[in-house]
Structure 1
Amino acid sequence: MIPTIRRRTLTLAAPEAPGRPTHVSAASGLVRAGDWLYVVADDALHLAVFPAAGDAPGHTVRLFPGELPAGHAERKAAKPDLEALCRLGPSASFTHGALLALPSGSTPARRRASVLPLNADGTLAGEPRTVDCTSLYVQLERELVALNVEGAAVAGKRLRLLNRGNGEGGVDALVDLDLDRVLASLDVGVMGPEAVRTVRRWELGEANGVRLSFTDASPLPDGRVVFTATAEASRDRVADGPVKGSAVGVLAPDGTPVYLDAVDVPVKLEGVDARVEGGRVHVLLVADADDPSVPAPLLEAALPVPG
């Protein structure tokens, strides 16, 4: 079992909208860049930004226009459902790289991504750009039927997506996209099916009788990818359900799972940022309580795998 340390809760200096809480609850993706932590929440139109050190409240940056309904069911139906956040390296379009926030694609309303350029120090460099993922996701839905993208990480010349297979008919899968084609698509604001290289299905086992499914990903320098997985007893890819456990694992550069172990806290892990320090893999983790009144925690852990 992986021991974790609770570093803070994701409190905000001000709510993202009037009447909303002053914290992030449904944290679903995490990236550290420089001295900052960036978090997407699956029930928000904003990116949350926190200092990497200390527990000072964060602030939000709008990604999409408009407002979401206040009611839980109405908000769930209308939300963009951003589930994955990854860092892109420097390119012709992004001198110092960028953040890419990807939606789950689990309904037709959940197919808008957002890309945000970065400065050299990891701060945001400009306004976010909206990217339409519809044509890419339609193709992936043909392959996987129950599409539910939850993780993304750059691994070499690939952008590796993790599909979460929770619920009836769900399939856990690795989808490798051609990174050059992805970067070109961001320039025009449309991600298409021509970027797809491979789609592979995986089974991660169970926790307390419920299937473990991918929930996020973060790259390591040697091409490995750290991932989180959660066992949630939900009836389908949209509904929430009781969480029976969460785990952290590692994929080899070829995508094969080579390590997986449970964490010591009963949370629904949804976001991970991994880095190598002192020859070991260290991770920051965020969780989603599926309750808007509960602030999401930021946890940290060291994995018993070499860096």
Structure 2
Amino acid sequence: MQPIIEIENLSKTYASGLAALSEVSLAIRRGEIFALLGPNGAGKSTLINIVCGIVTPTSGRVRANGHDILSDYRAARRTIGLVPQELTTDAFETVWDTVSFTRGLFGLRKDPGHIERVLRDLSLWEKRDSRIMTLSGGMKRRVLIAKALSHEPQILFLDEPTAGVDVALRQDMWRLVRRLREQGVTVILTTHYIEEAEEMADRVGVIRGGRIILVEEKAELMRKLGRKQLTLQLQAPLSALPESLSGFELELAGGGQELVYTYDTKGERTGITGLLTALSAAGIRFSDLNTSQSSLEDIFVDLVKERA
């Protein structure tokens, strides 16, 4: 299947000389949730703004749903919805009017039924006649999402959508994003809450210094780069590790009552089996064990440090 977004050798250098993007190539699949992660200043917003037609690239090519964003910009923008970081909306308009007006900007006929569905999905229906200025910050962010969905886009960009909102609203947004994907909408998410990417994303891309340093299926990324820890509760405390265990990445904890083994997920079976055999040979017994695995946040931090 042809990707819904195709980015080829995209670069952006501002007049100040700042190179925000350098030779970025990326293909985003139709109907997936793609999480774009990166530290502040990595180029995430510049990349999104170019695809959405807000910033002009220095070089390279971008196609959205088959439409070139420069030569066929009207059709390209018609297929894209953007939820920006900033709460920018007319404070004196009502919720209904501002969402309906946004649909009209794309040259579409009025469709009260669609606007009603969007507002109900976002728990905004009871606020439809309220002025934007009277809404809470969380409600205003819902209005931004409603505006982005007003023209029924096939691609939705969410740029830090849950920054500064409460846990309940964040979970509501997660449910909405999943529902949109079920309806065939492709969702591209940037976030500093890496648990969002871990919760929702199908694939993860990491950008640093204006370059894409990794694109991977989330599950495969965590399998390949994740680290696990096995913690053994010892029957008798140890004051030091026997020489026979020097080949394993072990450390004592809990005053010698715990033995912590850190290993890559790729070597899980052979590593654990070999450790248990070595423990038995050394006469070390344990009464309980538990395992833990590194999160996507741990992997992200390690990646950024490694490529720095």
State whether TM-score is above 0.5.
no
**Rg: which structure is higher?**
2
> With structure 1 as the length reference, what TM-score do the two structures score?
0.29
- Which of the two has greater strand per residue? 1
